[in-house]
Amino acid sequence: MKYTDYEIPSDLIFKTKDIIDMGGLKCSCVLNAKDFADCKDSAGIIKKIEIILSFSLLSKEVLVNGCVSGISEVECSRCLKPFDKKFKEEFSQLYSTKAEIIDIMYLIRQTLALINGIQNLCSEECKGLCPFCGCNRNEVSCDCKGPEFSQFACLKDKFSKK
State the nearest-atom distance from the C-beta of 117 to Zn ion, in Å: 18
State the nearest-atom distance from the C-beta of 148 to Zn ion, in Å: 12
CA atoms within 13 A on the CB side of 141: 0
Neighbours of 61 (CB within 10 A): 15
| Residues that contact Zn ion, how many (by CB under 5 A) | 10
129 binds Zn ion (CB under 5 A): no
94 binds Zn ion (CB under 5 A): no
For residue 85, the cross-strand partners are 72
67 binds Zn ion (CB under 5 A): no
Neighbours of 43 (CB within 10 A): 25
76 binds Zn ion (CB under 5 A): yes
Under a CB-based contact definition with an 8 Å cutoff, are residues 142 and 130 in contact?
Answer: yes
74 binds Zn ion (CB under 5 A): no
Coil, helix or strand at residue 74: strand
Nearer to Zn ion among residue 44 and residue 66 (C-beta)? 44
132 binds Zn ion (CB under 5 A): yes
Determine phi and psi for 51, rounding to 5 degrees. Answer: -130, 150
84 binds Zn ion (CB under 5 A): no
Stretch that binds Zn ion, among 2-10, 24-32, 94-102, 124-132 (CB under 5 A): 124-132
51 binds Zn ion (CB under 5 A): no
Burial 117-136 (b: 16+ CB within 10 A, else e): eeebbbeeebeebbeeeeeb
The residues that touch Zn ion, with contacts defined as CB under 5 A, are 76, 78-79, 122, 126, 130, 132-133, 142, 144
